[in-house]
Amino acid sequence: MPHHSNPGEAVLLVSILNGWSGISQLYRHPSNNPTLPSSKKESQGCATRSAVQIFPARRPDKPSESYIANATPEPASNNPKVDNDNPFLSGNAGWQQCDERILREGLLELHERKQKTESKVLARSKARQAQNRQVLNQLSREDERLTSATIVQAMVSKKNPILPDPNAEARLAKSLANVAMKQQLKSEERMDAIHSLYMNARDFIITEEQLNEEIERVFPAGDNPEWMNDQRAGENVWNLGPPPTVSSLVHRKDDENSRWDLVQDRTKKIAEALTGGKI
């Protein structure tokens, strides 16, 4: 595989691959930029970030022959559409061939460098993990074992200790009973709500005819029988008296009629509790 010794070509390759943006974060020759990281670790990190930018995970086909062929296509015709003595054609032909050659060779070289870097990182990671496992599983030194305090083996802490719990089965049975009771209460409440909905559904207005009938009953054109009293006809709601005040609502239980209504409400609730449904 060819190798580039000209640092200017490497900079040009990076510019082509990245649209002339972000050149300072890509591969750069040390002799052209004195501000590069001095340590080897920082240089490898910069190279890894650059390789990730050039070869993203969403484009695994970049180092393939098909991608390179599409990126650097051969001219469709050897006959130029402009005159041979055109200064634009003579000045750019050489640059175009140079750019295509740098792109083809640079993609392969950068992909090879990326694979080598990833393999080195993976090898170091595996070695570090193996070293950590060895340190965790290794036995204590002989001098530490001989000079350590004597401890009864039964008192030595073990990994993932399970403390004895003689009342575990009783607590488990009690918890299961509590859960079953709560589920039963929820089921009863749900059934009561469904039955209440069924009993109240007979008063629901679901059609336009029912709505018109209810409007005519509440707001009749003539006299309203519900607004009638001993002196006046039912043509005004004020015939029933003024609206109730807070004081009247508080002392309403002292009235005989209110006591009767309260007894009726209590009797209804008792009947609903005995029958198990709304009345």
pLDDT over threshold 80, residue 142: yes
Q: What is the per-residue pLDDT for 77?
A: 61
84 residue type, one letter? N
pLDDT-derived band at 81 (thresholds 50, 70, 90) equals low
pLDDT over threshold 60, residue 107: yes
Q: What is the per-residue pLDDT for 63?
A: 74
Give the C-alpha separation, 171 to 174, whole Å: 5
Q: What is the per-residue pLDDT for 131?
A: 94
pLDDT over threshold 70, residue 76: no
Q: What is the per-residue pLDDT for 67?
A: 79
Q: What is the per-residue pLDDT for 29?
A: 41
10 touches 99 (CB < 8 A): no
Q: What is the mean pLDDT of residues 56-69?
A: 73
Tell me whether residue 17 is exposed, middle or buried, using C-beta atoms within 10 angstroms of its C-beta: 0 to 12, 13 to 18, 19 or more: buried
Give the C-alpha separation, 46 to 12, whole Å: 18
pLDDT digits (tens, 9 = 90+) for 217-236: 877 777 777 777 666 666 66
Instruction: Identify the residue with better confidence: 240 or 22.
Output: 240
pLDDT-derived band at 90 (thresholds 50, 70, 90) equals low
36 touches 30 (CB < 8 A): yes
DSSP state string for 209-224: HHHHHHHHHHS-SS--
Q: Count of CB atoms within 10 A of residue 47's CB?
A: 17
Q: Where are the alpha helices (DSSP H) in 138-167?
A: 142-147
pLDDT digits (tens, 9 = 90+) for 185-206: 999 999 888 988 888 888 889 8
The residue whose two tokens read 């015939």 is 239
pLDDT-above-90 percentage for the chain = 15
Q: What is the mean pLDDT of residues 22-48?
A: 44
Highest mean pLDDT among 99-108, 130-139, 234-243, 248-257 belongs to 130-139
Cα–Cα nearest to 50, from 117, 105, 97: 117
17 touches 50 (CB < 8 A): no
DSSP state string for 28-46: --GGG-TTS-SSHHHHHHH
Give the C-alpha separation, 258 to 265, whole Å: 10
pLDDT-derived band at 80 (thresholds 50, 70, 90) equals low
- Lowest mean pLDDT: which of 29-43, 90-104, 178-192? 29-43
The pLDDT mean for the chain works out to: 73
pLDDT over threshold 90, residue 73: no
